[in-house]
Amino acid sequence: MSAAIVWFRRDLRLADNPALDAAIASGKKLLLVYIHAPTEHAPWAPGAAQMSWLHHSLERLHQSLQSRGQRLCFFNGASAETLKRLISEAGAQAIFWNRCYEPALVQRDQALKTELKALGVEVNSFNGALLHEPWEIKTGSGTPYRVFSPYWRKCRERLVLKTSPPLPQMLPPAPEVSGAVALEELHLKPALNWDRGFYSANRQPGEAGASAALVRFIDLGLASYKEGRDRPGLKSTSMLSSALHFGEISVQALAQRLFDYAHEHAVPGLLTQVEHLVRELGWRDFSYHLLYHYPHTPSANLNAQFDAFPWAWGPPDVLERWQRGQTGIPIVDAGMRELWQTGFMHNRVRMIVASFLTKNLNIHWQAGARWFWDTLTDADLANNTQGWQWAAGSGADAQPYFRIFNPVSQGERFDPEGHYVRRFVPELDALPNKTLHSPWIAPRASRTQYPEPLVDLKESRAQALSRYAELRGR
């Protein structure tokens, strides 16, 4: 029996995994590998929070494979050299992988595919991460989209969900190779356990954890998703962003499961909720569409007009107060502390803290993007870039620069009972709801442990609008 390699990357699951399915169908012995090569992602090597989640996700994938008579082999080092050696040792005639779309990885994979084909190796790559790949959706003139609504209309018209058949109970055997290391030797998990707040009974890495999160969401959040998704104090979001980033759940299978559930239960309005969530998955696709066609955007404005915008990079103490949740603005501080403690931040709050950094503090969106990159377990180059440029006003389909989130009114609207703020800013717990989001108007004695606002919201908004007017005047 000849051999084939399945190269796992950010598709850390067994179900609905196109590369694995095709490899099994080939009838070959299977060598299943994960190669840790963070320098190949430069200048966006994965951050520390991502690495923590990755460790646990790989551990669970390995355990799942063992239950099916297989194993995941871990390697350190350059991907191309490692794979060529393994191909030679295993006598592999084919390799299977699911595609990545980050600029550095696209270049790596294209070069590797050319090199392996020249060696006579059959190379098979698949879409295992998106509803539509970046090059599949084009405008009528054949150009990339830069506005989401028409992009999604075309995507929705063409949406055909495909899921794979169940995996066999036992997988083909693995050939013997050298050089594999223990998972611990990849040094992904922090030695000081600062990530202990990342995980709970309701938030676990791995395919089983993703499946459990989906069940919880269907039970608790799906019926009110459209209205509840902006309320950080409620359990109305799927909490699947990290699972989607690492491919612990297939986006195709996720969408299919939601549509199936809506059709099976026929509850009035439920299909509308599902359509709204799938539209959010479309935003994820749109971010990859932009990253693929505009690969410079992680480090440069998509809208070149903003190259002349007078953003700053500090001063360091101001940036640090934002990072640590000590700005004196409750909803901002709650979000930044949630991020630091859990490796996650609610999406509505991500928009609020990003607007505050770029508009009220006038700090460059790249400083925020880098902080998110290192502290989010779901840090995704496409989504992170698109999100920050949207908030800053410098990207595609961006929030206009002159639209500046007021964190007080945002808090009052989306956390009216203060459940979210009180959870992460407990020093304000005694304040009544009417002053919780603007504690500076409450008596000082009731908030002695909480800092004064870093900036005056009204004045900093006026200054931001003045900077924008000056830019337009140029």
Active site residue 365: yes
162 SS3 class: coil
Active site residue 280: yes
Q: Which is catalytic among the residues 347, 362, 406, 427?
A: 347
Q: Which is catalytic among the residues 127, 283, 427, 440?
A: 283
Taking the CA atoms of 292, 105, 39 and 371 in sequence, report the sign of the dihedral they define. Answer: positive
Is-contact 19 6, C-beta < 8 A? yes
pLDDT at 162: 83
Buried/exposed code over 371-401 (b: 16+ C-beta within 10 A; e: otherwise) = bbbebbbbbbbbbbbbbbbbbbbbbbbbbeb
Q: Residue 134, Cβ neighbours under 10 Å: how many?
A: 20
Q: Mean pLDDT, 10 residues at a time, over the chain (474 residues)?
A: 94 97 96 97 96 98 97 97 97 98 98 97 98 97 96 96 87 95 97 94 96 96 95 94 98 96 93 97 98 97 94 90 98 98 97 97 97 98 97 85 92 98 96 96 88 96 94 81
Buried/exposed code over 73-98 (b: 16+ C-beta within 10 A; e: otherwise) = bbbeeebbebbbebbeebebebbbbb
How far apart CA 168 and CA 451 sit, in angstroms, is 58
Is-contact 393 401, C-beta < 8 A? yes
Domains of the chain plus CATH, in order, are: 3-128 (3.40.50.620), 130-164+206-294 (1.25.40.80), 304-473 (1.10.579.10)
Strand order in the sheet with 29-36: 73-76, 29-36, 3-8, 92-98, 122-126
Quickly count helices (H) and strands (E) in the chain.
19, 5
Q: Which is catalytic among the residues 44, 311, 322, 371?
A: 311
pLDDT at 402: 79
Is-contact 221 236, C-beta < 8 A? yes
Q: Which is catalytic among the residues 365, 371, 373, 390?
A: 365
pLDDT at 464: 95
Active site residue 371: no
How far apart CA 30 and CA 14 sit, in angstroms, is 14
CA 260 to chain centre: 25
pLDDT at 445: 82
Active site residue 152: no
pLDDT at 446: 83
